Amino acid sequence: MPEHWQRKKVLVTGAGGFIGSYLVGALVERGAEVRAFVRYNSRGDPGLLRMLDARKTESIELVAGDLRDEDAVRAAVKGCEVVFHLGALISIPYSYKHPAEVVSTNIMGTFNVLIACRDSGVERLVHTSTSEVYGTARVAPIGEDHPLQGQSPYSASKIGADKLAESFSCAYDLPVVTVRPFNTYGPGQSGRAVIPTIITQALCREVVQLGNLEATRDFTFIEDTVAGFIQAAENQNSPGEVFNLGTGEEIAIGELARKIIKIIGSQAAIETKTLRLRPRKSEVMRLVSDNTRARELLGWQPSVSLEDGLQLTIDWVKKNLHHYRVGQYEF
């Protein structure tokens, strides 16, 4: 519904991130007036928003701040009709080393967004969760009612944020929905994520170093994920709902690496690097989504196959290798 977004005033937190920057671009294309909230840094770096076409960025209102600053968040929300809350510290390894920062940003940052949206009377808030909140699948595929398991400080912080969103729906009738992306990937993603890690090493090295090779994940192409966010915002009939955004298909990390190496035409070997392993009880061994609710209530379904998505991502990485520190373990 492109007409839904014409001149709609929209705030995107976490706009400089991977999903956030794509979402900003998609909203601008639909005619929305976008305010992009990015984390302040002294370099004035807007993150991945710099990758967008200049014709898109010139219409964006860029706001820098910290989600933990209540006044900054309240000012950013003011005057907006729809809010997409993606801002978070998302690295699991970083959360092992700096749990306090991750918890304060992800929980108090979300609390500030919820309070500001409640007081401003927004018509829709889309809150971003993560498949990591489920932990290792107890049953598969994973539906939204699967138990939540805090197997890392990051996942625990996101569980807390999700429950705050749920509480504001119940206590204040805040029109909030939660989306749970499953391992989004695509062109422009940082080397912190597993697919760019595999691609860059397969292109430049004789050995691809990874963590656990047996863990499975449900990889969803970036354009499909963004479509899910937008459809969640457009749907007015499911306040308080949670929606999985995943393909419903899983692949082991070792098999994924072999698939990418084959597509590239590399002869690279694969090895497990101890540095890249999570603590044993913190490793999430299986994630695969049941996306029935999103399909039935939002009309959403993934359209890009893993093979096609990998090829698009590989082609982009080949042209942009200078953006990556190949082989360096990034938090």
Residue found under tokens 């309240």? 74
What's the rounded Cα separation, in Å, for the pair 16 and 20? 6
- Of all residues in the chain, the percent with pLDDT exceeding 90 is 88
Q: Does the pLDDT of residue 330 top 70, yes or no?
A: no
Q: What's the predicted TM-score (pTM) here?
A: 0.96
Least confident of 40-54, 58-72, 142-156, 210-224: 40-54
Whether 331 has a pLDDT exceeding 60, the answer reads no
Average pLDDT of 129-153? 98
What's the confidence (pLDDT) of residue 198?
97
pLDDT tens across 86-97, in order? 999 999 999 999
Q: Which of 180, 171, 156, 212 is nearest to 19 (CA)?
A: 180
Whether 46 has a pLDDT exceeding 80, the answer reads: yes
Predicted confidence (pLDDT) at residue 108 exceeds the cutoff of 70 = yes
Told to judge if 154 belongs to the known catalytic residues of this protein, a careful annotator would answer yes
Please say if the pLDDT value at position 1 is more than 70.
no
Residue 89 and residue 132: Cα distance in Å, rounded?
A: 13
From 154, 185, 324, 329, active-site residue: 154
Angstrom distance (rounded) from CA 85 to CA 138:
28
Q: How far is CA 173 from CA 31, 70, 154, 166, 240, in A?
A: 28, 21, 27, 10, 8
Residue 251 pLDDT: 98
Q: Please answer whether residues 125 and 85 qualify as being in contact, where contact means their C-beta atoms are separated by less than 8 angstroms.
A: yes
First to last CA, the chain: 38
Supply the angle between the helices 153-172 and 109-120 in degrees, to the nearest 10: 20
Q: Kindly report, residue by residue over 27-37, the tens digit of the pLDDT.
A: 999 999 999 99
What is the crossing angle of helices 222-234 and 18-29, to 10°?
60
pLDDT at 327: 63
Q: Where do the structural domains in the chain lie, given as residue ranges?
A: 2-185+221-245
Instruction: Please provide the average confidence, as pLDDT, over all residues in the chain.
Output: 95
Is pLDDT above 70 for 281? Answer: yes
Return the pLDDT at 35.
98
CATH superfamily of 2-185+221-245: NAD(P)-binding Rossmann-like Domain (3.40.50.720)
Average pLDDT of the residues in 222-249 = 96
pLDDT(106) > 90: yes
List residues bridging with 10 in a β-sheet: 34, 82
